[in-house]
Amino acid sequence: MQKAALPALWDAPAAAPIFDAFLTPNDSSTPNGRKALAFFLAAYLAVMALLWAALSAWPALLHGGLVAGFLLWAQRAERRRRAKWERVVVWRDKTRLLKGEGGRLLESAEWPTPWLRAGLAPHAAHVALSCSGRRASLGGFLAPDDRRSFAAALNTALADARRPA
């Protein structure tokens, strides 16, 4: 049985990569915790709606509906944030950056490793890659300490790639 060919974007050079990092946002909650929170908020809003309706305070029902809509929007935005990912692969001759959400690839870029620079400004909220006038940012969803350690590891990998074999 023949394997299906992978897209050219995922074809790796013959040599093994020097550095391969897959970045995802921190997720401190669990699926059960998120379900419990959603259930609690729905029950709370339902009880409050019944209470306000029993007291004939109809304008408060509109406020409760706005709060419920905001909570639903926030939960969906959080789900999208958790689905984001970034992958950086460094070989001696090239470096590839892939960004996606869930199973979709949203952005890809490739640079020659010998000329690529990675930097982290003192107050930057991301790691910047630059080469030949092209720039890309990554790691914006990482905590500051994680971003600094990732930038240090990436710079070490780029320096290792530039050393003669």
Give 103's pLDDT tier (boundaries 50, 70, 90). Answer: confident
Q: What is the pTM of this model?
A: 0.70
**Which pLDDT tens digit goes with each residue over 105-127?**
989 999 999 999 998 877 778 89
**Angle subtended at Cα 132 by Cα 123 and Cα 21, rounded to the nearest 5 degrees:** 60
Distance, in Å, from the CA atom of 126 to the CA atom of 117, rounded to the nearest integer, reads: 14
Nearest one of 129, 144, 104 to 19, comparing CA atoms: 129
Encode burial over 21-46: b for 16+ CB neighbours within 10 A, e otherwise.
bebeeeeeeeeeeeeeeeeeeeeeee
Distance, in Å, from the CA atom of 95 to the CA atom of 92, rounded to the nearest integer, reads: 8
Distance, in Å, from the CA atom of 41 to the CA atom of 47, rounded to the nearest integer, reads: 10
Instruction: Extract the tokens encoding 24.
Output: 């995802």
